[in-house]
Amino acid sequence: MEQTDKKKSFWQRMRYKYRLTLVNEDTLQVHWHLQMSWLRAALLGNLVFLIALALCSALILFTPIRTFLPGGVTEDERQFLLDESMRLDSLQQQVDRQTRYLESVRVALSGVAQQDSTPPLDSMRVLEHEELIEKTTPATQEFMEQYDQKHPKQQPAKKQNQKR
């Protein structure tokens, strides 16, 4: 019998049918059975693999999942996304400016003025150079006295309302 098994060709062995049966042990009742050859099982396995591959490919190609893969976004789409991102950023900045403006108008209209916590830049410069301003040398004092003698302080002229 060993010789006859060896003499069978590959295709004959692939076509030989096997039976898979599920049997209830207590009653010996057959619940389910499957009769299939190795060739048919290989073809069925390949078919299931190809269907799964097609479904996964369709899922990736026709849904936004493709953007997570390298090369999934074309150059036009990338440029569009960059333009929209820049536009969104500028709109956000504009909304922030308008919000700050409306808040300052609300505070002004309510009559409650808040002190600015940061001194203006000009006063910071004055504070930095305050020592130099307060120190006067004898030459500086002499120059200031001479200037005051030549140019006495003038009172500003009062403006007259002219009716037209």
Instruction: Judge whether 86 and 93 are in contact, CB under 8 Å.
Output: no
Could you tell me which of 8, 5, 13 has the C-alpha nearest to residue 39?
A: 13
Residue with tokens 């006859």: 4
pTM (2 d.p.): 0.41
The domains of the chain are located at 2-68, 73-105
pLDDT digit string (tens) for 95-145?
999 999 999 888 888 877 666 666 566 666 666 666 666 677 788 888 888
Give the percent of the chain with pLDDT over 70: 76
What pLDDT shows up at residue 120? 62
The candidate with the shortest Cα–Cα distance to 43, out of 13, 15, 22, is: 15
